[in-house]
Amino acid sequence: MSEARHASHRPEHEMSPLSEQRSQPTMAADATTDTLPPDAATEHSIEYLSRALDAAPLDVTLHAQMLAAARAANDEPLSTAHELALAAFDLLGATTTDKLALVLYNVATVYAMKGRREAAIRWYRHALRIHPDLAIAHQNLAAALEREGLREEACAHREQAYRLQRVFTDAALGNEERRVLILGVGKGTGNVPVDALLSHLNTSRIRYAIDYADEAEDAQLPPYDLVFNGIGDPDVATPLAARIARFAAQCDRSMLNPPEAIERTHRHKTAELLARVQDVIVPRCLRIDARPADLKTLTQQIEQSGLSFPLLMRPLATHGGERLELHTSLASLWSALVELEAPCYLTAWHDFRSADGYYRKYRIIYVDGEAYPYHLAISSHWMVHYFSAGMVEQPWKLDEERRFLADPFAALGKRANEAIVAIGRQLALDYGGIDFSLTADGQVLVFETNATMLVHREPRFGPLAHKNAYIDQIVAAFERMLQARTRSRPTQAGQHKSSALSLTS
C-alpha cells in the first residue's frame, strides 16, 4: 500500500529529515575573503559575490557579505533573501544537510516572489544539489522554468516532485481557524489560483496532487475542515472525473466547486449553459479532439457546427491567450492544425472593437453567488492582455477602469448588469468568473466563464494599487463563504444564494 507523503512549505524545523548525517554551514576560505572587492556597494561586487555563492551556497560569510552589499545598493529583494538565510543558519547551527537545503530553498523562494526568476532558478538548483529529493524545490523550480518557456525541463522536475510527494501543507501563520484541503493536479496547468483568496494568517492549506495519488492515500490525508476543488479547468478535470467523483463520494466535508459544476464549463458547452440568459452572446465553439483526415472533413465539421471564418483556434486547457490564433482562411487553419497535432477549440470570431477603435475586456469574479468587478483592460489589439495593453502608460485607461470598479452598474448599463447577474446564477460555481466585452447595443459578449480566473493583489505603492480595495472585497467574500461552509453540512452546487445575486462594487 502506498503511503501519502507529507511535508510543509513552512520553516525547516517542521520538516522531517531524510538523512541523519550532521552538517553545518561553512565559513569562507581565506583566499575568498582576502580577494573580495573593497567596495561592497558596487554592482561588480554583487556579481562577484553571486558567483562566489554559486560555488559555495552554504558559506555564511558570503551570505553576510552579500547582505551588506545588497543593503548598500538598496536592493530590497536581495537583502531579504540573504537576511533570511543568515537567520536560518543561526537558528540551525549544526544540522542535517537536508535541512540546510531548505535554507537555500527559502532564498530561492524569496527571489521567485520578488520576480527574480533567473536567481530563483539558480538557488532552487543549489537546494536540489544538496537535497535531490526535496519535492517542494522540484515543484517550485518547475513553475519557474515553465514561465521561462523551458517546458520540457519543467515537466521533468514536476514529475519528480509529485513522485516524491503528493501532499504539501502550508500551516497558518497565526491562529488557525480552519484547514482547507485543496484538490489539484500536478501534471501541467488547470489549477485555480488561490494564493490571494486564502488568508495565510488563519487558514492552513493542504494541497493534494490527486492525479498522482493512489486512492489509498485519500484516507491518510491530514485532518481538514473543508475541500476546495482547485481543478478548475474542465479540460483537465474530465480525464480525472471518475477519480474525483469517488473522492467526493467518500468525503464527509463540504466541497467548494464540486466536479459536476466544473464539468458544465467546457468552452464548447458554454452556449448551451447560457442559452436561456437574455442579452448574452456566446460565440459558437467546436471542439476537435483529433485532426480531421483531410480538408474536406474539416470543412464539413466547420459547416455542420454553423461556423464560418474568421475563426479562433486554441489548444485545450489553455488560458490567457496562450497559443491563441486568428485564422481567416481554411488553408491557414489546416496548416495550423497539422502543426498543432493536439485537441483544440475553434470559436467564431466576433469583432468587439468599441466606437473609439479600442478593444475592451472586462472581468467579473463570482464568489458564493455574488458578482464583483475585478478589472478592465483596454487595448488597441484584439488579443487583450492587461499587461500588454499599455494601461499604466495611458492614464485615461486607468481612469476608465477606476470608474468601472467603483460603479460597475453605471459602467455596464442595466441590460448588461442583469445579464452578468443571470450568468452567475446559471454558472452556479462557488468561485469563478467571466471575461467579456460589451456590444454596441449593450449586450454581453462572452469570452469565457469558468473557475480558473486569477485574482492577485497589486504592489501597495504601484500604479495599480487602486485595484486592491476591490480585490479586498473579493477576498472578504471568499472568507465569509469559508466561514459559512465550514460550519454547514455539504451542499450541492448552485443551491446557495441562488435568489440573492447582485453586482457588487
pTM (two decimals):
0.81
Model pLDDT, residue 188: 67
Q: In the predicted model, is pLDDT for residue 494 greater than 90?
A: no
CB 371 within 8 A of CB 416: no
Residue with cell 522554468: 145
Domain ranges of the chain: 166-263, 284-348, 359-487
Model pLDDT, residue 488: 58
Of 315, 305, 302, 311, whose CA–CA distance to 343 is shortest? Answer: 315
* pLDDT tens, position by position, 250-263: 999 999 999 999 99
Identity of the highest mean pLDDT range in 14-23, 24-33, 456-465, 467-476: 467-476
**Can you tell me the distance from the alpha carbon of 89 to that of 91, in angstroms, rounded to the nearest whole number?**
5
**Range of weakest confidence among 189-198, 329-338, 350-359:** 189-198
CB 209 within 8 A of CB 242: no
* pLDDT tens, position by position, 341-379: 889 999 999 999 999 999 999 999 999 999 999 999 999
Model pLDDT, residue 321: 77
Look at domain 284-348 and name its CATH class. Answer: alpha beta
**Can you tell me the distance from the alpha carbon of 145 to that of 291, in angstroms, rounded to the nearest whole number?**
30
* pLDDT tens, position by position, 454-483: 999 998 899 999 999 999 999 999 999 999
Residue with cell 525547516: 12
Of 456, 426, 439, 300, whose CA–CA distance to 360 is shortest? Answer: 439
Of 256, 209, 266, 259, whose CA–CA distance to 235 is shortest? Answer: 266
Q: What is the mean pLDDT of residues 184-205?
A: 89
Model pLDDT, residue 190: 80
Of 369, 371, 313, whose CA–CA distance to 485 is shortest? Answer: 369
Q: In the predicted model, is pLDDT for residue 319 greater than 60?
A: yes
CB 320 within 8 A of CB 384: no
For residue 205, give the amino acid letter.
Answer: R
Q: Which three cell numbers stand for residue 338?
A: 497539422
Measured over the CA atoms of residue 441, residue 443, residue 446 and residue 451, the dihedral's sign is positive
Q: In the predicted model, is pLDDT for residue 241 greater than 50?
A: yes
Model pLDDT, residue 149: 87
Fold adopted by 359-487: D-amino Acid Aminotransferase; Chain A, domain 1 (3.30.470)
Give SS3 for 42: coil
Residue with cell 483526415: 293
CB 502 within 8 A of CB 495: no
